[in-house]
Structure 1
Amino acid sequence: MRIAIFVETYLPYLNGVVTHVKILREGLIHNGHEVLIVTADKTVKEHVLEDGVLRCPALEVKKIYGYGLSSPISLTLMKRIKEFRPDVIHIQQEFSIGLAGVRAARALHLPLIYTLHTMYDDYIYYIAPGPLTGIARRVSHNYVRFIARRADIVTSPSKKCLDYLSNAGVHRKVYVIPNSVELDDYSETATTPEQRAAIRERYHIPADAFVACFCGRIGKEKGVDNLIKLWHAQCGGDPSLYLMIIGEGPFRKELEALAQSYGLGGRIIFTGAVPHEQISPYYACCNAYATASLSEMYSISMLEAQASGLPVVQWLDPDNIDQIKVGVNGYLFETAEEFGRIIHQLADVTPEQRVELAKRVRDSVKERSSDSIANYLLDLYQQAINKHR
């Protein structure tokens, strides 16, 4: 089968959607299928096709994490899609490139798959000031509805999307396909003791300290400010407890100032952006993953942490509860006191108990390999082809 996947950003740019598409692409290719990635790229001046990735020239949108917006109407783009001769088009995001995918599917009479990754209501503040939030939300709902109604199949990594789509006026079957992870990249043997020790040394973390981490885009929607407040209230008095914030984003300076105001500048660490191929030792040098975000749709960062053997401590999110098996690969909290109790309990486990816990956590995500998501989507691609005919 020949699959054209449309995504607004792709490697070397990194976010959860990019990671999802990278894993899907690898799984499809491993199973003998051909894949073309179509993406916007603000660094190119003309359409560039290299190693199965078609990069379309784009204008940078600095306010939205440096995304680029490409023209959805392009004769060159359409020519390249025709030359690839796809059996199906799969759009992973809804902006300029996603719209180009919708247009290509319609022009070439091809089945269209649409995957919703993002709860856009949580991101409205990036593009609209407070008084215009309601209008912007209605516009975004109308646009998502426009895309979804033109797709033969709609998927999402989380059940959380069902309420969102319903609020947007989309009432149809949605296939929930949890994200996958490259298990080998986060296995017990993927990093060395020297690599783990080097990261702790770089950030002046004692070898015997307990470290919880969060990894992701540092934006308001990720709730990292709440995580820091929880850490201050429940863990700030224990000098053996450290929190590592991995990632970059527009909210970072404010969060660093917040940590400094609590006197925790040395024990709440901001690493900045870390290339994806270098992220595994960061997880491996930690003891747990903590998050207070309510905007996730089956978080890939959490999944990578679990593949690294880290139990997840997550603020209860009823609409996205499936990723945690309490007592197996993570713990849920609803109050600051519960958060503190969980962190202190994890910090107090013996080395033997920690090894056993890590194995249990890794085992819980073994079915989330790249082949699993590829095989599931191949079935949906065939359904879309049959339905479109």
Structure 2
Amino acid sequence: MSSESAARPPGPPRVLAVASHPIQYQAPWFRALAAEPFIDFSVLFVQLPDAAAQGQGFGVAFTWDIPILEGYRWRKVPQLLGRGGLQGFFAARIAQPTALLRELDPDVLLLTGWHAWPLLQMLLAARRLRIPVLMRGESNALRRRPWHVRALHRLLLRACDAFLPIGRASRAFYTGYGIADERLFDTPYFVDNARFAQAAEAARPQRAALRERWSIPADATCFCYAGKLEPKKRILDLLEALRQAVAVNASTHLLVIGTGELMAQAREFVATHRLPVTFAGFLNQTEIPSAYAACDCLVLPSDFGETWGLVVNEAMACGLPAIVSDRVGCAGDLVGDGETGHVFPFADTAALARRLLAVASDPVRARAMGDAARRRVEASYSIARSVQGTLQAVRWTLAHR
């Protein structure tokens, strides 16, 4: 703890979360933590990107159409160096991280990952000031790292006091480095389940009109791809699997939500093979539940770069099952094979085609899996569960500092 805090009047412990920028998925967590009387919670954002910076990788400039800066106290890093922006590990750096952290004077520092240099700057500053650190990163144990990466991970993890695993593969990542169970506090990754479920329910009576809007046949089994069209998400694998599936069952359709660098290649593949695909473009947070209401199943064929896949949470909260590759981070948590969806071997387009056909051939079973998926995220992958784990970690850390 910093020297200034020794003279501070008694009160709830100050917990400072540090995030690279405002993220729509983190805002409900921050609001819920701010409402907890046990802690004095606030957030430090490294950057507040404008619409152009926010849209990098999406192919369109935008701002989120839901409030993500309301309901909790926050401030922005006052002096930032570098070119800025969200692309690149060293795109920005904090001018005086130790001085800034000494000024903010938290009892506990909560880091939302190590994917940007400013987050590591704050970790190092916390070590200098002897402020305990909670880490909630996205890395998982699904892939084997080279020795030098593992060595860097050991140094990083050694600097943290406790960890907030986001799921099973995340917990396995920490235990694989010898982190004791007593230092692990589960904070499952979640979306605002209630908001998505309510919005999808409200949109469901307009399902026929929504399908007409996106040229989805009324009797088709419609699969949904939601995300950037970027290499790690493997949209071309899905299109190839769809090509194989359509040859067996023509009553299938794909709605692609999102834009990105592979859009032209994806459109060319669809045109060449005359596939039943609608490109909806980018849909903001208030729009996407309507797309889920128009569809029957989500598909996420990503590689190891998909450290979780929160679109799976979104779709499941809206009552859809999901088909994911075995390299998607949330597969072991959310997708019970044949229960809440299907898991297929990464890049095996024939196996993915078989899963598509299984869903299309049994719509009653697909709806049952969707109902089970909604129950799973509501019960175990919620705001309340993540807040509970966070508070347990804060209490443990303060008791063992």
TM normalised by structure 1 equals 0.77
What residue is the counterpart of 1:312 in the other structure?
322
AA aligned opposite 1:172:
I
- For residues 357 and 165 of structure 1, what CA distance do their matches in structure 2 show? 31
**Deviation of residue 85 (structure 1)?**
3.9
Contact 2:21 / 2:46 at 8 angstroms: preserved in 1? yes
Q: Deviations over 1:250-271 (max 9, x none)?
A: 333333333333222xx22333
> What stretches of structure 2 of length at least 5 have no aligned partner?
1-12, 51-68
Q: Deviations over 1:267-323 (max 9, x none)?
A: 223333322233221212110011222323342111111111101122334974232
For residues 124-153 of structure 1, give each alpha carbon's deviation from its aligned partner in whole angstroms, at most 9, with x where no partner exists. xxxxxxxxxx9xx77655544432221001
Contact 1:177 1:373 (C-alpha < 8 Å) held by counterparts: yes
Deviates more, 1:158-167 or 1:95-104: 158-167
In structure 2, what is the equivalent of residue 70 of structure 1?
92
Q: Counterparts of 1:34 and 1:251 in 2: how far apart (Å)? A: 44
CA distance in 2 between counterparts of 1:307 and 1:380 reads 27
SS of aligned partner of 2:265: helix
The counterpart of 1:93, out of the listed 113, 117, 129, is 113
Counterparts of 2:303 and 2:267 in 1: how far apart (Å)?
Answer: 21
Residues 60 and 261 from structure 1, CA distance in 2 versus in 1: closer, same or farther, beyond 3 angstroms? farther
Taking a change above 3 Å as real, the CA distance of residues 316 and 194 of structure 1, as seen in their structure-2 partners, is same
Q: How many residues align?
A: 355
Higher strand content, 1 or 2: 1
What is the identity percentage for the equivalent residue pairs of Structure 1 and Structure 2? 19
Supply the distance in 2 between the matched residues of 1:376 and 1:161 (Cα, whole angstroms): 14
How far apart are residue 187 of structure 1 and its match?
Answer: 1.7
2:378 match: secondary structure: coil
SS in 1 for 2:375: helix
* Conservation of the 8 A alpha-carbon contact between 1:210 and 1:347: yes
Residue of structure 1 equivalent to 2:234 = 223
Q: Do the aligned residues in 2 keep the contact of 1:28 with 1:371 (CA within 8 Å)? A: no
Paired letter, 1:362 = R
Q: Distance in 2 between matches of 1:333 and 1:146?
A: 35
Per the TM alignment, residue 71 of structure 1 is displaced from its structure 2 partner at its CA by 1.7
For residues 293 and 126 of structure 2, the distance between their equivalents in structure 1, rounded to whole angstroms, comes to 43
By how many angstroms is 1:90 displaced? 1.1
Match of 2:370 in 1: 358
Distance 1:40-1:189 versus aligned 2 partners, 3 A rule: closer
1:147 — aligned with what? 156
Which of 275, 297, 304 is equivalent to 1:288? 297
1:375 is aligned with what amino acid? Q
Q: In the alignment, which of 256, 277, 280 is matched to residue 286 of structure 2?
A: 277
2:166 corresponds to which of 139, 157, 160 = 157
Q: Secondary structure at the match of 2:374?
A: helix
Deviation at 1:375, TM superposition (A): 0.6
| Cα shift at 1:216 | 2.5
Structure 1: distance between partners of 2:129 and 2:287 = 40
Q: Does 1:7 align with 2:19?
A: yes
Cα deviations by residue, 1:213-256 (Å, 9 ceiling, x for unpaired): 12223321222222221111223564431112223333333333
**C-alpha distance in structure 2 between counterparts of 1:105 and 1:59, whole Å:** 25
Change in Cα spacing, 1:2 to 1:186, as seen in structure 2 (3 Å) is: same
**Equivalence for 1:340:** 353
Letter of the 1:72 partner, please give it. I
Compute the RMSD of aligned alpha carbons: 3.4
Q: Check if 1:23 corresponds to 2:32.
A: no
